[in-house]
Structure 1
């Protein structure tokens, strides 16, 4: 009887931990996934898969250095796996017109809620490596060192990507007055 009570309590604690993760990081991870797949509902599906994996990782949670960093890494990997999947390539290849319409409406949703729609569109138009560092640095406010740990890329490489991404954004926005933080 005591074992059953302890099992119920452990399961309850696991559910609470998982709910707290979803409440704390759900929207943030969905936005991150969106920067890869450019479709809001697909990004939500990806994040749901990420949190299912997190749920099963509960017993090993003490080993995590940073839960947020781990979730970012999982989300990035899951997004990249989706983009590499044969299903995505087949559906995108067969129905590119529909895919474009879906992407555009999701982009409209994101940029409508953004204080600077032009900048959001420019960031989404960047190539993946640049979009990734801009998002993590400016939106998620990770330091270059934290990005290095999460992405498993050298800090110097990330500094270069940030610089190039800012130059590309400046070129796309044709000199609009946006203030960039320095590295």
Structure 2
């Protein structure tokens, strides 16, 4: 976007305060993405801060040939994946505050929804980091194969293959364990 390019030019010309505009514009989206990857609010906050530092340090490499947001996400996600590999982050469950979720009119519906979400989180958490990231980018962030390819710096064919393998692993888990995702076990 033109606005992003203007802020970037200001930062590169010495106006360090202009970077605050970029942070304010993208911080919530980036936090949401990283939180989905880590499923831990503390780790996500730390990684977002580190990612913005990394983006700032590499700002001179952005050439305005593509979307700044995609470039920024690629830098941030690459940083996260590097940190996952270095520190072997373990995903932790984010518990839902039941008092806010409980609907007294339909407690069984609420219970089933929570159980289904927990099972889905377990299925995704069991995947290798690269496949987990691709599943989240595709189905949570609703990115296209080409957008995921750009962010992950993988060919589109590799993105499709990893996505296919991830779904196969999830299907196999559902077949073994049973549970709420019977639609996954129907080889769709």
Q: Do these two structures clear the TM 0.5 threshold for a shared fold by scoring above it?
A: yes
- Whether the 8 Å contact between 1:46 and 1:79 is mirrored in structure 2 is yes
Please tell me whether residue 160 in structure 1 is matched to residue 158 in structure 2. no
Of 83, 90, 93, which residue of structure 2 is paired with 1:107? 93
Report the CA distance shift for 1:74/1:58 in structure 2 as closer, same or farther (over 3 A): closer
Please tell me whether residue 45 in structure 1 is matched to residue 46 in structure 2. yes
- Whether the 8 Å contact between 2:54 and 2:76 is mirrored in structure 1 is no
Instruction: Write out aligned runs for 1:1-183 (5 A).
Output: 13-32=18-37, 34=38, 39-55=40-56, 63=64, 65-85=66-86, 88=87, 103=91, 106-109=92-95, 116-174=117-175, 176-178=181-183
Report the CA distance shift for 1:78/1:118 in structure 2 as closer, same or farther (over 3 A): same
For residues 119-145 of structure 1, give each alpha carbon's deviation from its aligned partner in whole angstroms, at most 9, with x where no partner exists: 111011111222121111111111111
Runs (5+) with no aligned partner, structure 1: 1-5, 93-99
- Deviation, structure 1 residue 77: 1.9
Q: With structure 1 as the length reference, what TM-score do the two structures score?
A: 0.66
Runs (5+) with no aligned partner, structure 2: 1-9, 102-113
Report the CA distance shift for 1:30/1:48 in structure 2 as closer, same or farther (over 3 A): farther
- Deviation, structure 1 residue 61: 5.9
Give the number of aligned pairs: 156
In the alignment, the residues of structure 1 paired with residue 17 and residue 165 of structure 2 have an alpha-carbon distance, to the nearest angstrom, of: 47
- Whether the 8 Å contact between 2:55 and 2:76 is mirrored in structure 1 is no
- Whether the 8 Å contact between 1:30 and 1:43 is mirrored in structure 2 is yes
- Deviation, structure 1 residue 56: 5.0
- Deviation, structure 1 residue 118: 0.7
Match of 1:3 in 2: none
- Whether the 8 Å contact between 2:34 and 2:47 is mirrored in structure 1 is no
